[in-house]
Amino acid sequence: MTELNGTVSPSFEPVRDAVEGQLRSGAEVGLSLVVDVDGQPVVDLWGGHRDAARTQPWRRDTITNVWSITKTVTSLAALLLVDAGELDVYAPVARYWPEFAANGKQDVEVRHLLSHTSGVSGLDHPARLEDLYDVRAAAARMASQKPWWEPGTASGYHVLNYGHLMGELVHRLTGQSLRDFVHQHIVQPSGADFQIGLRGGDVERVADVIAPTVDFDPSTLDHDTTAYRTFTGPSFDAGAANTPAWRAADLGAANGHGNALAIAEILAPLTRAGASAHGQLLKPDTVGLIFNEQSNGADLVNGLHLRWGIGYALPDRRTLPWIPDGRIAFWGGWGGSMAIMDLDRRMTISYVMNNMGVDILGSQRAAAYTTAIYQALRDSNRS
């Protein structure tokens, strides 16, 4: 029998039941799920298996590639610089990175990078995945490009290059790589078990990602679209996440490694108006910037109807009806992982797994857990 470990508060037992049901059905292979309410861990679960053959148990310290959940940490790094007065989200990117002004991008602002509206959502052709592993050279190529659409007019999801763009700003302001900045200013203070990329000594506790059963073929897209240019600039598949080259890279868009507890420890201060267990991480006004809506409509790359704030998506019931309205910031990783920061309820939800679903954002499993969590919270508040 597949083992599920950890604890839940009594009113959140239905969440454990939901997870056990997904494990029994085989939909879930291995996972971790954490819910923090105002600093209290009301759900802290992990279990299943690290491998597709279900021979290696998912342990407390198991980590995995969390795909675009990495972007939520990269955005937090940017907010730290905003909070310190070193970065202005309404300033042109070129103030900090002069080369970025090339080819008509002189008016692109930092907020456009943080909201996926910059017009630069990938590399011009020719592009190989290996090109992204030299992060500063790739960023220089992006700085020289023409925007693929008018910046600020729509979102075009920055699938793999979000960390290159924000990471170059971090480097220009601090002299550090994004990976090192995150480690020093986010990971170490929080004690979270998270890293952009992967240290060699941690390979033995990593759960490989299990690719979705339906392959996405970007060659079927209209070649004149931003979606085609993005998904082929460069092309990649889920199996790349299990390779040494991917794991060694500094990809602030997609190769963060951690588990649900680590993600919750990092992001919970956003839920609590900037307060962390170790002091005030951000000013409340800095957290408030997240909710300055930057775009609202069909994304030019992934096709979803999305509302982007600064650094995080905002609730949109048309796309994810199981995330309620309100002061909520969130994003998910490819395959179904989710990070939800609900400021109204002072609740942080973090879900990480290895068996990837086929949906672009979220999954039936993520929906089932999130629905059970919100129902348990309502029931708890009534009792």
pLDDT tens, position by position, 147-166: 999 999 999 999 999 999 99
For residue 269, CA distances in Å to 32, 87, 285, 288, 341 come to 20, 20, 13, 12, 9
Instruction: Indicate the SS3 state at residue 365.
Output: helix
Instruction: Indicate the SS3 state at residue 30.
Output: strand
CATH 3.40.710.10, domain 4-382, yes or no = yes
DSSP state of 147: P
Instruction: Answer yes or no: pTM beyond 0.95.
Output: yes
Domain positions in the chain are: 4-382
Which residue has tokens 């109807």?
Answer: 305
Quote the pLDDT of residue 214.
85
DSSP state of 208: P
CA distance 300 to 100: 22
CA distance 123 to 233: 5
E-strand ranges in the chain read: 4-8, 30-37, 40-48, 63-65, 195-196, 206-207, 256-258, 275-276, 279-280, 295-298, 305-308, 313-314, 328-332, 338-342, 347-353
Cis peptide upstream of residue 126 (ω within 30 degrees of 0): yes
Quote the pLDDT of residue 2.
74
Q: What is the pLDDT of residues 59-109, one digit of tens each?
A: 999 999 999 999 999 999 999 999 999 999 999 999 999 999 999 999 999
Q: Categorize the per-residue pLDDT at 381 as very low, low, confident or very high, splitting at 50, 70 and 90.
A: confident
Taking every pair of C-alpha atoms in the chain, what is the biggest distance, in angstroms? 60
Give me the mean pLDDT over the 50-67 stretch.
Answer: 98
Cis peptide upstream of residue 189 (ω within 30 degrees of 0): no
